[in-house]
Amino acid sequence: MSATASIIAPSASATTVAPIVAVVGLHGGAGTSTVAALLAYASAGRAALCDVGGPTATLWRRADSGHSLAAAADALARDALQPPLAVQGPGETTVVAGRPQLLPGHDVTEGMRTILGQAATRHALVLVDCGCRSHPAQASALALCDQVVWVADLTVIAIDQITAVLSAGHDGAPARQYIAARGAAGRSHLKDLRRVASESVAPIALLEDVGDGRDLDQASVDAGMGLDALIAEITR
């Protein structure tokens, strides 16, 4: 990998390989980018945050590095990757995210593997916003991750749909799975969610609904203890 492609950050030792965590929406508008940004924020500046890209990419609004993960991987394969690859975002989180664009039509897996692998040696945590896996590059990124956080809005998706996703054994999905359930959960919801967590051995974090604004400090407070519990599970 050329020097111009380097992700430079001050955190983890080069001998440490951090967990690489996919954040994936179970449906459109689930809040995937918001949850990914909150998890990075909760890591107190020790994370790299990457958006695979696509027409609905939203992390660029927080910190536009000029390259989404897929676009950077595509440029790397053509030896055309120029800085800046990454920028420092809120809390000194390293962000790889470009403006919404159509993703490359060919396989960018190896390029993403290189970039994510390098990020994992320089950070304590790597988070990858994979959207809703609506593009092959997003599915490829998911397959490169060690863990996955499925994001669901409880006002939109039914509990049995969450169960189906956890039990489906998606191709390339990592073994360690979590659910970030957004929105208010009623008593019946809580009972069903406890059952799903027990049956699937997948921890479920309940996040209070938060807006998609830029104030991550306030949003992390609004998200409640579920955010702290989720980051603790991911990094333990």
On the question of pLDDT at 3 being above 50, the answer is no
Q: How many residues does the chain have?
A: 236
**What pLDDT does residue 46 have?**
86
Average pLDDT over residues 216-220: 80
Give the N- to C-terminal CA distance of the chain in Å, as an integer: 30
Confidence of residue 4 (pLDDT cuts 50, 70, 90): very low
Q: Residue 224 has what pLDDT?
A: 79
Please report which confidence band the pLDDT of residue 210 belongs to, taking 50, 70 and 90 as the band edges.
Answer: confident
pTM as predicted: 0.86
Confidence of residue 223 (pLDDT cuts 50, 70, 90): confident
Q: How far apart are CA 72 and CA 68, in angstroms?
A: 6
CA-only gyration radius of the chain, Å:
17
What is the pLDDT at residue 10? 40
Fold type of domain 3-235: Rossmann fold (3.40.50)
CA–CA separation, 27 vs 50, rounded Å?
Answer: 20
Structure tokens at 57: 């990419």
Per-position b or e across 38-67, b if 16+ CB within 10 A of its CB:
bbbbbbebbbbbbbbbbeebbbbebbbbbb
d(CA 58, CA 116): 19
Q: Where are the domains of the chain?
A: 3-235
DSSP 106: S
Our separate counts of H helices and E strands in the chain read 8, 8
Quote the CA–CA distance of 207 and 65 in Å, as a whole number.
Answer: 28
Amino acid at 210: V
Q: How many CA atoms lie less than 13 Å away from 129 in the CB half-sphere?
A: 31
Strands 176-182 and 94-96, how do they pair?
Answer: unpaired
11 or 165: whose pLDDT is higher? 165
Residue located via tokens 């994001």: 151
Residue 166, pLDDT score:
72
